Structure formats: C-alpha cells, structure tokens
Amino acid sequence: MKEYIKNKKDLSHKIKAIYMWWHKPAVDSEFLQSLPNLKVITSSGVGVDHLDLKLISSFGVKVANTPHAVSNPTADMGMALLLASARRIVEGCEIAVSSDTKYFEADWLGEEVTGATLGIIGMGSIGYKVAQRAKAFDMKILYHNRNQRKQEEEQAVGAIYCKKMDDLLQQSDFVMLIVSLTPETHKLIGKRELELMKPTATLINICRGPVVDQDALVHALQNGVIKAAAVDVTYPEPLPRDHPLLKLKNIIITPHIGSATSKSRWVMMENMVENILSGVNGLPLPNEVHP
C-alpha cells in the first residue's frame, strides 16, 4: 500500500488482485474505482462480514475466502473452549501457581464433558467437525441449521436435528455458535434465547461477536441465567478495557485465535494464492463468495 500510494499513476493499472490479510488493506468505493484492472480480492479466513459484497461485485470484481484452511483449527478451538470452561482450566491454572495456594481443595469441582449434551447452532464444515470431535467424548449432539443435513451425515456423528432452535437451547448443557454473521444471524442469541437455556448450561461462541447480544449475555452471566460462557469472538475486538465481560468470573475470553496456528496460516496463504491465480487467469475461483 505504501508503494502504491507513492506511485498510483504507474501502479494502479497493474493491480489485478488484492491479498487481504486480516481485513487489510480495506477496500471502499474510492479504492475500487482507482483500480480499473482489479479482478479478484482474496480474504484470509472464512468470514466475509467485513466486506461489502454487493459493492465489490458492482465493480465486476470477484471475492474469495479460505473456508478449508480454518475449519480444523476452529473446530479444535471450539472443543478447547468447551473443555477449558467445563473443567475450569483457567481458574485451575491460577490456583496451581498462586502464591496463596497452600493445598488443593477436594471440593473444587468442574462439570463432566463425557456424556453431556452439545447443541451446535450452525452445522457447516466447522460445525460438522465439532460434531465429529464431540462424538468421541460420547456427547449427545443436537444441531440447528438453515437446512437439515443428509441422514448419513447425521448418523455418522449421531447428530439430531432441532428444527426449532428453542428445542436445542432447552436441552443442551453446552451451546456452541458456529454460524456466518449475516443480517439474519445478527443478535441470534439474545435475552430470550439465553433464558431458554438451562441455568447449568455454557454458551460457547467461535464465530462472530455480533451473533450474540452482548449486553444480554452480561446480564445472563451476572444473574445465573446461564452458568458460564467461553468466547473467542466479541464485538468489538478487543473489548474496551472497562467492559463488564472482562470482570466476570464465569467467562473465558480468548483473543480471536480460532485459526491461529502456523499450519492454518500457511494453508490460508496457499489458498489465497490459488484463488488469485485463478481469478487473474479468468478461471473459476475455487472458493468464490457470491453476494
């Protein structure tokens, strides 16, 4: 971008692709207008809620993301958060290293994961991989999705479809959110949904902060409406340092590290290069995102 800004006249016609790593460089109407030969924008990660897809498409530019690169590490992160929350790993670490600790209390207990009920909201690639992992813990798996999956897919992970999200909320010990952020899923989980959940249940969010009504979540956690939460994503990121979520004892927050492994970043890069080459050569994009 530095070089481009110094030399727009020469470079603007040469730019055929934008490699957007963690939302940068950002694109707006002005920027798109100045790149007459732009064919493709590849965005790292799977979420495209930061892009105005209609606007970009109006310039005849294609958009691609990297869904496959993120699905394994994000599913792993979902399980990591579920286990860390249930077994109170963060609190446990603090006790283990605290200068005040004299002995380990016998009556300090967490919640069993094996055999518990996991409700997955959003059964795309990541959701399905979470189900595969959870099945090995003998968890009972419920899921809610725009469409029901094929029977063989359901049977392979022992997942039961809940056409009504309310049914899933009422029966789950762990509720995991794995949906794309769209106008339909914005504040999908609010006061009403949290109240439908069991008071002993845990909410896990590994997709996007705005899928949850954060104020309602604060209230629910403060008042024991649900037991706990574990979120890799918030709105905004990071949260303001005086935000109530940072002070609550019954929430684990991680800094959006769902795909933060060296391996996945490498694969993302490879995917992005592949999509750029296809786009620049007029071939179909392996991972095109349509508005």
Partner 1 sequence: MGEQELPGVLILEIGGECGVLESHVAFLRKHFSLITMKEFLQNKEKWSEKTESIFVFERRPVIDRELLESLPNLKVIGNSGVGVNHLDLKLISSFGVKVTNTPHAVSDSTADIGMALMLASARRLVEGYHIAVSPDTKDFAVDWLGVEVTRATLGIIGMGSIGYKVAKRAKAFDMKILYHNRSQRKEKEEQAVGAVYCKKIEDLLQQSDFVMLVVNLTPETHKLIGKRELEFMKPTATLINICRGAVVDQDALVEALQNGVIRAAALDVTYPEPLPRDHPLLKLKNVTLTPHIGTATVKALRMMTEEAVDNILAVLQDLPVPSEVIPK
- The window from 101-109, 140-148, 184-192, 209-217 that contacts partner 1 (CB under 8 A) reads 101-109
Closer Cβ to partner 1, 57 or 158, answer by number: 158
Token look-up 């792993």 returns 76
Residues 3-32 that bind partner 1 (CB under 8 A): 21-22
Is residue 50 close enough to count as binding partner 1 by CB under 8 A? Answer: no
Among 133, 140, 187, 191, binds partner 1 (CB under 8 A): 133
Q: Name the minimum Å distance from CB 124 to partner 1.
A: 17
- The window from 26-34, 107-115, 183-191, 274-282 that contacts partner 1 (CB under 8 A) reads 107-115
Q: Give the tokens for residue 230.
A: 């574990």
A 10 A CB-CB count for 204 gives 28
SS3 200: coil
Among 12, 110, 180, 277, binds partner 1 (CB under 8 A): 110
Report d(CA 141, CA 220) in Å as an integer.
24
- Phi, psi dihedrals of residue 103, rounded to the nearest 5°: -155, 165
Is residue 291 close enough to count as binding partner 1 by CB under 8 A? Answer: no
Q: Give the tokens for residue 53.
A: 């897809």
Is residue 118 close enough to count as binding partner 1 by CB under 8 A? Answer: no
Cα dihedral across residues 169, 84, 79, 250: positive or negative: positive
100-137: b or e for each residue (b if 16 or more CB lie within 10 Å)? eeeeeeeeeeebebeebbbbbbbbbbbbbbbbebbbee
- The window from 72-80, 140-148, 175-183, 217-225 that contacts partner 1 (CB under 8 A) reads 72-80
Among 31, 59, 265, 274, binds partner 1 (CB under 8 A): 265
Is residue 199 close enough to count as binding partner 1 by CB under 8 A? Answer: no
SS3 146: coil
Site residues, partner 1 (CB under 8 A): 21-22, 72-73, 75-77, 79-81, 83-84, 86-90, 92-93, 95-97, 99, 101-115, 132-138, 237-239, 241, 246, 252-257, 260-265
